[in-house]
Amino acid sequence: MNPGVGEIEIGTPAASTAEVPAGEPLVEVRNLKKYFPVTEGILLQRTVADVKAVDDVSFEIRRGETLGLVGESGCGKTTTGRCILQLERPTSGQILYDGVDLSGLDQKALVPFRRRMQVVFQDPYSSLNPRMKIGQIIAEPMYVHGIEPNAAKRRERVAHLLSVCGLNPGFADRYPHEMSGGQRQRVGIARALAVDPEFIICDEAVSALDVSIQAQVINLLEDLREEFNLTYLFIAHDLSVVRHICHRVAVMYLGHLVEFAPTDELFDRPLHPYTRALLSAVPVPDPEVEQARKHQVVRGEVPSPINPPSGCVFHPRCPIAVDTCPLQVPALREVRPGHWVACTEVREGERPGQ
Amino acid sequence: MATTSEIRVEAAFEEFERPRWRVSGIWQFARRQPLGAAGGIIVIIMILAALFADVLAPYDPVANDFMAMSEAPSWTHPLGTDQFGRDLLSRIIYGARTALFVGFVAAFVGGTAGLILGVTSAYFGGLFDLVFQRVMDVFMAFPLVIMALAVVAILGKGTENVILAILIPFIPRCARVVRSSALSIREMPYVDAARALGYRHHRIILRHMIPNVTAPFLIMLTAFVGQAILLEASLSYLGLGVQEPTPAWGLMLQGGAEEYAESAPWMPIFPGIAISLAVFGFNLFGDAIRDTLDPRLRAR
């Protein structure tokens, strides 16, 4: 067994995440591209280049599952989430939500979908309006969407949501600055739940919290999934957290999806050289094992997304690259059942580079 | 997780602490910003004079006393009288009413219009923002007084038109300052959250963005009141503002300065001092508020 991989203490798979729900897809991302133009000139702006934040990404999220989206900073995982929410309009590609292409809808037509999908942000300090009380923050979505037109019932529901999220209902009269980071993040979750969504994007939702609070919030998210039949897209860079909470994991590198597999499969048998390097970078809590194990270090730096390498974007840093890698973008192939890899050099059952 | 009793204890603590904090806050402001406190005192005196003019003024500001024309300051007329025998002290006290009314209304209406336009421009961004900013640039190209003169020339004289003339040039100035802070607010996750919740544009602008740009807005507002008072005096001096016999400092200055500067210097000097003190007071107060609210300056 490769000691660098799979021995992640906190990341022991939870019982509830052992099997992947086989349901129909709730969200389908098809050939999603998001380019941010780099412009020059003040009045007559010319586009001189594009930042290719997300470049041809496709995956689907099944009803009831938690899909992890991992990768290093700047790989486009957050942009993917924002495109699904239509906070950014995709450059091209489709976001199918329950069969409806969201990228073609205008703001008004999106409103019914806004009720069905919600988001929890990374930074609990800037994700709550500092001028509003907690109760107002949670009640506002119900008022806007007409979920609870009666003010007294709204207050009741705010109190209910606060207690569901592990907060004292008395917090409704507080301002965000009077609360701690963990408490604020729970408010963010309560706000997302206020519209009774079925799908929640957790954009690095626990990354800004300290470890003990992280564990509490993750447990809360898992409890909520069971209570409200939620589907999650869990965007993160902490692999141990992802292993604990996700059914399936998608790995992104420089705007591309490089590997997509059920969680245990991905952590036990990572196939793409980037995934292998990523998992190998997770430190092992035992210092002796940590010293003895072989680290797989990726050479060089992440290339600029303005001018990404040709073909497979990982080839300049790849330990197993061959001459054909710079020529063609590798498509995702199903190497094992449910295990997709965007690399021409890996085969089923093989451990490349060893 | 805090229990209910803990929260109650905290709440009780806050009730006890808060009033003390407020008083000491004012005291600290006065100690750190002595000039600002002085400005604040001038502003408060002006507001009191304007509110209680009927009680404070010893004479009717528009009553002529032909037995006491162009009298030098004395015990009966502490600041002297003008060429029509009107008591200068009374006219200056009533003039504060005119100055503050024009100043506050112009600053508040112009500032609020600029606030909404600036935040809206920042929120929508793109081409709308670009075009809007260029239009504002055109307005900004005119000096304040020239712009106000043009408006009065088009609309005619009278207090309402003076207010309009003063508030129009304020709009682009306020919009620009507010826009720059609104640009950073637009990128805040709570605005994204509001968008993800499907709120309408006006709700996001009014409820989520505008409340978070009030600090720079309030600072601009205090500065605007001072400038508006100065502009009103300038327009009145030029004969385009408030009309006789309404007591207004600019008018008094004009009436006194042209003929009586040498023979009866108290006629132009006292209204001049009133104008200077008012503008000085508002500027000092505004600067001090800005310094206090800006944490980067507070550290010094």
Identify all chain A residues contacting B200, using CB atoms and an 8 Å cutoff.
144
Contact B199 A144 (CB under 8 A): yes
Mutual orientation of helices A181-193 and A151-164 as an angle, nearest 10°? 130
Identify all chain A residues contacting B190, using CB atoms and an 8 Å cutoff.
126-129
Q: Rounded to the nearest 5 degrees, what angle is found at the Cα of B236, between the Cα atoms of B231 and B242?
A: 110
Q: From CA B118, how far away is CA B176, in angstroms rounded?
A: 6
What pLDDT, on a 0 to 100 scale, did the predictor assign at position A349? 55
Give the pLDDT mean for A334-346: 88
Q: From CA B41, how far away is CA A116, in angstroms rounded?
A: 56
Q: How far is CA B162 from CA B165, B224, B230, in A?
A: 5, 15, 12
* B187: closest chain A residue by CA: A126
What pLDDT, on a 0 to 100 scale, did the predictor assign at position B4? 46
What pLDDT, on a 0 to 100 scale, did the predictor assign at position B23? 65
Contact B198 A114 (CB under 8 A): yes
What pLDDT, on a 0 to 100 scale, did the predictor assign at position B7? 44
- Beta strand A46-62 pairing with A25-40: antiparallel
- Distance (Å) from the C-alpha of residue A121 to the closest C-alpha of chain B? 7
Q: Which pTM value belongs to this model?
A: 0.81
Answer yes or no: is pLDDT of B65 > 90.
no
Residue-wise pLDDT for A273-320, tens only, equals 999 888 888 877 788 888 887 777 777 888 888 888 988 999 998 888
Answer yes or no: is pLDDT of A236 > 50.
yes
Identify all chain B residues contacting A139, using CB atoms and an 8 Å cutoff.
none
Are the C-beta atoms of A32 and A58 separated by less than 8 Å?
yes
Total number of domains constituting chain A: 1
Answer yes or no: is pLDDT of A3 > 50.
no
Contact A131 B212 (CB under 8 A): yes
* B211: closest chain A residue by CA: A131
Residue A79, chain B, CB below 8 Å: the answer is no
Give the pLDDT mean for A206-216: 88
- Looking at per-residue pLDDT, the higher value among A5 and B48 belongs to B48
Contact A122 B193 (CB under 8 A): no
What pLDDT, on a 0 to 100 scale, did the predictor assign at position A21? 64
Residue-wise pLDDT for B142-195, tens only, equals 887 888 888 888 888 778 888 998 898 899 999 999 999 999 999 999 999 999
Listing DSSP states for A122-151 in one string gives S-TTTSS-TTS-HHHHHHHHHHHTTS---H
Identify all chain A residues contacting B192, using CB atoms and an 8 Å cutoff.
82, 87, 119, 121, 127
Residue A78, chain B, CB below 8 Å: the answer is no
Residue-wise pLDDT for B23-48, tens only, equals 677 777 778 888 888 988 999 999 99
Q: Which residues contact A320 (CB under 8 A, 6 or more apart)?
A: A273, A345, A352, A353
Contact B196 A195 (CB under 8 A): no
- Distance (Å) from the C-alpha of residue A244 to the closest C-alpha of chain B? 24
Interface test with A, best of B1, B127, B197, B207 (most A CBs within 10 A): B197
Q: Locate the domains of chain B by residue range.
A: 99-300
Interface test with A, best of B192, B199, B208 (most A CBs within 10 A): B192
Closest CA to B290 of B239, B220, B242: B220
Q: From CA B81, how far away is CA B267, in angstroms rounded?
A: 7
What pLDDT, on a 0 to 100 scale, did the predictor assign at position B172? 92
Answer yes or no: is pLDDT of A16 > 90.
no
- Distance (Å) from the C-alpha of residue A9 to the closest C-alpha of chain B? 26
**Interfacial residues of B (vs A; Cβ cutoff 8 Å):** 1-4, 7, 188-190, 192-200, 203, 207-208, 211-212
Are the C-beta atoms of B86 and B271 separated by less than 8 Å?
no
What pLDDT, on a 0 to 100 scale, did the predictor assign at position B1? 44
Residue-wise pLDDT for B117-145, tens only, equals 999 999 998 889 999 999 999 988 888 78
Contact B197 A123 (CB under 8 A): no
- Ramachandran region of residue A265, left (φ > 0), alpha (ψ -120 to 50) or beta? alpha
Answer yes or no: is pLDDT of B292 > 80.
no
Tokens of B195: 């968008």
The residue range of the domain holding A80 is 1-116+248-354
CA dihedral A302→A303→A304→A307, nearest 10 degrees, is -160
* B197: closest chain A residue by CA: A114
Report the amino acid identity of residue B175: A
**A100: β partners:** A97
To the nearest whole number, what is the mean pLDDT of chain A? 86
* A201: closest chain B residue by CA: B196
Does some domain include residue A173? no
- Beta strand A92-97 pairing with A25-40: antiparallel
- Distance (Å) from the C-alpha of residue B122 to the closest C-alpha of chain A? 16
Task: With residue A87 as reference, give the H or E element that holds it.
Answer: none
Answer yes or no: is pLDDT of B213 > 80.
yes
- Distance (Å) from the C-alpha of residue A141 to the closest C-alpha of chain B? 7
Q: What is the CATH number of the domain that holds A41?
A: 3.40.50.300
* B131: closest chain A residue by CA: A43
Quickly state the pLDDT bin for B294 (edges 50, 70, 90).
low
Identify all chain B residues contacting A144, using CB atoms and an 8 Å cutoff.
197-200, 203
- Distance (Å) from the C-alpha of residue A261 to the closest C-alpha of chain B? 29
From the options 1.10.10.60, 3.90.1150.10, 3.40.50.300, 1.10.3720.10, give the CATH code of B99-300: 1.10.3720.10
Q: From CA B46, how far away is CA B229, in angstroms rounded?
A: 12
Nearest to B197 among A121, A141, A167 (CB): A141
Q: Collapsing DSSP states into helix, strand and coil, what is residue B131?
A: helix
- Looking at per-residue pLDDT, the higher value among A105 and A7 belongs to A105
What pLDDT, on a 0 to 100 scale, did the predictor assign at position B14? 44
- Distance (Å) from the C-alpha of residue A127 to the closest C-alpha of chain B? 4
Residue A85, chain B, CB below 8 Å: the answer is yes
Look up the ipTM and state it. 0.85
Q: From CA A275, how far away is CA A318, in angstroms rounded?
A: 11
Q: How far is CA B6 from CA A165, A168, B11, B164, in A?
A: 19, 11, 9, 55
Contact B4 A111 (CB under 8 A): no
Residue-wise pLDDT for A21-31, tens only, equals 667 889 999 99
- Distance (Å) from the C-alpha of residue B228 to the closest C-alpha of chain A? 30
Identify all chain B residues contacting A172, using CB atoms and an 8 Å cutoff.
none
Answer yes or no: is pLDDT of A7 > 80.
no
Q: From CA B45, how far away is CA B67, in angstroms rounded?
A: 31
- Looking at per-residue pLDDT, the higher value among A62 and B28 belongs to A62
* A144: closest chain B residue by CA: B199
What pLDDT, on a 0 to 100 scale, did the predictor assign at position A243? 92
What pLDDT, on a 0 to 100 scale, did the predictor assign at position A154? 93
What pLDDT, on a 0 to 100 scale, did the predictor assign at position B299? 45
Calculate what percentage of chain A has a pLDDT beyond 90: 53
Residue A132, chain B, CB below 8 Å: the answer is yes
Nearest to B193 among A121, A130, A170 (CB): A121
Calculate what percentage of chain B has a pLDDT beyond 70: 89
Contact A121 B1 (CB under 8 A): no
Question: Per the omega criterion (within 30 degrees of 0), is the bond before B245 cis?
Answer: yes
Quickly state the pLDDT bin for A5 (edges 50, 70, 90).
very low
Residue A195, chain B, CB below 8 Å: the answer is yes
Lowest-pLDDT range, A291-295, A348-352, B204-208?
A348-352
Rg (CA), chain A: 21
Identify all chain A residues contacting B7, using CB atoms and an 8 Å cutoff.
168, 170
Closest CA to A274 of A314, A313, A242, A240: A314
Contact B7 A170 (CB under 8 A): yes
Does some domain include residue A76? yes
Contact A140 B1 (CB under 8 A): no
Residue-wise pLDDT for B221-261, tens only, equals 888 898 899 988 888 888 887 887 788 888 888 877 777 77
Does some domain include residue A345? yes
Are the C-beta atoms of A331 and A315 separated by less than 8 Å?
no
What pLDDT, on a 0 to 100 scale, did the predictor assign at position A43? 66
Give the pLDDT mean for A246-268: 93
Contact A111 B198 (CB under 8 A): yes
Q: From CA A287, how far away is CA A289, in angstroms rounded?
A: 6
Does some domain include residue A105? yes
